[in-house]
Amino acid sequence: MLEIGMEAPNFTLPDYSGKMRKLSEFRGQKVIPYFFHKVTSAGCKNQTCTFGDLYPQFLEKGATVIGISKGSVETQKEFQKEYNLSLILLSDEELEVIKLYDVLKEKKLFGRPAMGLERTTYLIDEEGIIIKAFEKVKPSTNPSQMLDELDE
């Protein structure tokens, strides 16, 4: 996990429409990048849809939410359309940003070691500095938790 107080590494990834999005385009506002496995799993669907439901409140507080997963652009597009989401979902099929943000961890899968994405959420300030970092987040409570963090 990246350290609080460090500058968040910039990245460029495609969104659901294939448009390349950079973290740096959001300077001047708070950014909440959250990393999740794939939108087709129950926990990730819950987390992403809840972030989507609360998205207007995040915008009111001057924050943009960006979901990042290893899912394809096409998968993200279908999900975004099906649930009418306005938040930004980015595809990192090559795991470049997932590795850059240190969320690819060794886990146990059926008793064997395997590399997997650890649910992690960061809060980045208007200057691009990481001010909060949460690992092993609970998908059901993480969106509300992050909304509360904006009030502190």
In whole angstroms, how far apart are CA 16 and each of 19, 46, 128?
A: 7, 18, 24
44 is catalytic: yes
| Residue 72 burial (10 A CB sphere; 0-12, 13-18, 19+) | middle
Looking at the chain, list the stretches that DSSP marks H as alpha helix, in order from N- to C-terminal side. Answer: 42-60, 73-83, 96-100, 142-149
Tokens standing for residue 5:
């107080």
Catalytic residue among 31, 44, 90, 103: 44
**Is the distance from CB of 145 to CB of 127 less than 8 angstroms?**
no
Tokens standing for residue 21:
């999005």
Name which of 56, 58, 59, 63 is nearest 29 in CA terms. 63
Give the catalytic positions in this structure: 44
